Chains A and B, each alone.
Chain A
Amino acid sequence: MKTQRWFTPWVLVLPALAWLLVFSVWPSINTLRLSFTDAKPLGGDVDFVGLRNYTDMLHDGDVRTALLNSVIYMAICLPLLTILPLLLAVLVEKKLPGIAFFRTAFYVPVIASAVVVGLIWTWLLDDRGLINNLARHLHLITEPVPFLTDRWLLLISAISLTVWKGLGYYMIVYLAALGNVRKDLHEAAAIDGAGAVRRFLTVTVPGVRGTMFLVSILVSVAALRVFSELYILTGGKGGPGGKDQSLVMLIQQYAGGFYGDFGYASALSVLLFVVTLIPMIVLARLNLRSER
């Protein structure tokens, strides 16, 4: 008896395919289409403007600033969030009494809302915030450190927030990977006289190399798409002069409100897509080369 017709697999795949087409493929194609138009939120006549949005983008100082901020964000977050969580995971991997407390403590920032965390950091870093007040009382400073009003300090503050909030998440990813690193290799290395640092570099790191690659991809994509940290720390204004905006903030700014410019915002989205691809391709190439 024939139990399966030729179309059965297609029927099973259909819901997922429909989902993909409606929520991924179509918005993507539509974004690309809109990037060549002057589409507005309220509709009206939509004209094809060719490459105008893209040429405008090339001459837009705000885009250059946002791109630079996003790249700096990624360049700093990538090594920190790839290496620090691994070290943290190695520290809390051991089955010691009370170690669960530390694992939980390191993970708490991950489950805290980005908005709440952002607000707390704003209060900490404000001119009259805890850090400046403390430093003043200790006579370390006479004038408040402009954490939230200086372009670079603001960017560094946001990066610190991202790193602090992301550590616990990637630590958990590494903890899962560390469970698969063979214990006998560690024992053999120890018998050969390798110390803790040497065993970490020659056994642990190669054992979690695939996970490190995954984490670096996730971190680079997340860093290039950064929004909430910068948005909250700058009160949505992108810092003095808007010099601390990321690309996503710029897209949000152009796409929002009655006067939103969907065409330009879509062109910026395409730029973000391309920019996001670059580190992924570079990392993938590096990974391939090291695998050979």
Chain B
Amino acid sequence: MRIRNLTAAAAALALALTTAACGDAKSDTSGTSDKITGSITLQTWALTPKFTDYLNEVIAGFTAKYPGTSVKLLDQPGDGYSAKVLAQASSNTLPDVINLPPDFALPLAKQKLLVDVSKDNDLSKTYVQGGIDAYKFNGVAGVFGYPWYLNTDLDYWNVKQFKDCGLDANTPPATTQELFTQAATMKAKCPDNFLMSRKPDVSDFVRAGIKIISDDGKQFVFNTDQAAALVDQYKDAYAKGYLPPSVLNSDYQGNSKLFTQGKVAWTTGGATGLADFERDNPSLKGQVTVSKALDTPPLYVQGVSVSAKSKYPATAKAFAEWITNADNQNKFGHLVNIFPSTISSASDSYFGKDDGTPAGKARALAFGELKDAKNLIPYEVNSDMQKLLDQQIALAVKGDESGKKALDDAVAKMNQMLSRQ
């Protein structure tokens, strides 16, 4: 075969490799009507079929209130939602009203693909401040989503393993440092059991009071000696066998899975966690106790945003306000253990009442925690950056690098990625 032919063959091969399609998402607000009328689309994230009836009820209420409107429900599967939204955004086919968590809303807001819903609208009269703040982003003026529902994490502990390994499940760790101490106790008494089961991430640095990003949002600054000391503490814990070796493996499934399998004695989870653990492993029934999150509880916010390209922007905004109003959020919160983001929902006694059941205790604890909950991962830290940091921390925990070197490398790379955003 001649080189020329070979080159041509190679070219064809590489061409097939390098598919690159780049949609130009131009910003043309084509809103044509201030009247609440017309047909819009609502996109939700993995809510059907479990909540189809609820969503249809919300839609029916809206269309009854505003004759001449219709809402088409479009539910997307849980996996690959960000890829789906990205495809919609780059092809100018974003639905009118979209369920977007803040980290998905940020890049869309930067590209002017979402409506600033705070214009002519005092959101603070309706929604809790933490929910509103979640949709405010550095470098973009406005609020780019209505907070829909809130959640936080609790800590779950395996009572039997605590008892067998010299610990008291009634006084589980309340801080990360207590977790290290009790992990050592468990290791000493039960060498095959583990209390700790995950590497540190950005949220652990925030919990420890370490500043993640500069005030202007342009530089990551968490490669401090304090953060390095925390990573090194995990490294020592790993070397002493407080963490299972699988935390460094590719098939690490998260502490929740390990907890469900009975391999570790601690995990974090939402207020519905208990029911999930007992469903997946019935032998855990009666063996799990729940407590408040370590240090600072995390705040998770879900919201709905309005596409800047909606043909019926007034209708889309009205519907987004409708689905996030106190009545509709309260009804949703009664169906599933999530918490409303509306101020008036605090007077709904359902959420804060411990009815004596483990699930009721978890719900009441989580609701109480929300007052102190904070977003522990700045939205600038996207999933690729988290992955990169995880890689570097794995090196440090394994002992191949010092905590400081791993953090310096991660911050340098993350700053490079941030500058390209």
* Interface, chain A (partner B; CB < 8 A): 23-25, 27-28, 30-31, 34, 38-39, 41-44, 46, 62, 122-123, 126-128, 144, 148-149, 213, 217, 221, 225, 232-243, 248, 253, 255-259, 261-262, 264-266, 269-270, 272-273, 276-277, 280-281, 284-285, 287-288
Q: Which among A240, A248, A258, A262 is the interface contact of B107 at CB below 8 angstroms?
A: A258
**8 A-B pairs, CB-CB below 8 angstroms?**
A30-B21, A43-B24, A44-B25, A122-B251, A126-B246, A127-B246, A235-B249, A258-B108
CA distance in complex: A69, B133 (Å): 44
CA distance in complex: A113, B420 (Å): 36
Going nearest first, the 3 A-B pairs with the smallest beta carbon separation are A235-B250, A43-B25, A273-B14
Q: State how many angstroms separate the Cβ of B105 from the closest Cβ of chain A.
A: 10
CA distance in complex: A225, B22 (Å): 23
Q: State how many angstroms separate the Cβ of A52 from the closest Cβ of chain B.
A: 10
CA distance in complex: A238, B16 (Å): 24
The B interface, classified by DSSP as helix, strand, loop or mixed, is helix
CA distance in complex: A58, B20 (Å): 22
Inside 8 A of B11's CB, which chain A residues have their CB?
28, 273
CA distance in complex: A274, B89 (Å): 33
Of all chain B residues, which has the CB nearest A263? B420
Q: Which among A23, A30, A239, A258 is the interface contact of B104 at CB below 8 angstroms?
A: A258
Inside 8 A of A236's CB, which chain B residues have their CB?
250, 387
Inside 8 A of A128's CB, which chain B residues have their CB?
246
Of all chain A residues, which has the CB nearest B421? A259
CA distance in complex: A233, B170 (Å): 40
Q: A24-B15, A258-B107, A262-B22 are in contact. List 18 more A-B contacts (CB 8 A).
A: A38-B420, A46-B22, A126-B246, A126-B251, A149-B248, A221-B13, A237-B387, A239-B391, A240-B248, A240-B395, A241-B392, A241-B394, A241-B406, A258-B82, A259-B417, A266-B20, A272-B18, A276-B10
Q: Which of A28, A126, A262 has the most CB of B within 10 A?
A: A28
Scan B1-43; emit 1 where CB is below 8 A from any A CB, else 0.
1110011011111111111111111100000000000000000
A34 with B22: CB separation less than 8 A: yes
Of all chain A residues, which has the CB nearest B397? A240
B:402-421 near A, CB below 8 Å: 406, 413, 417, 420-421
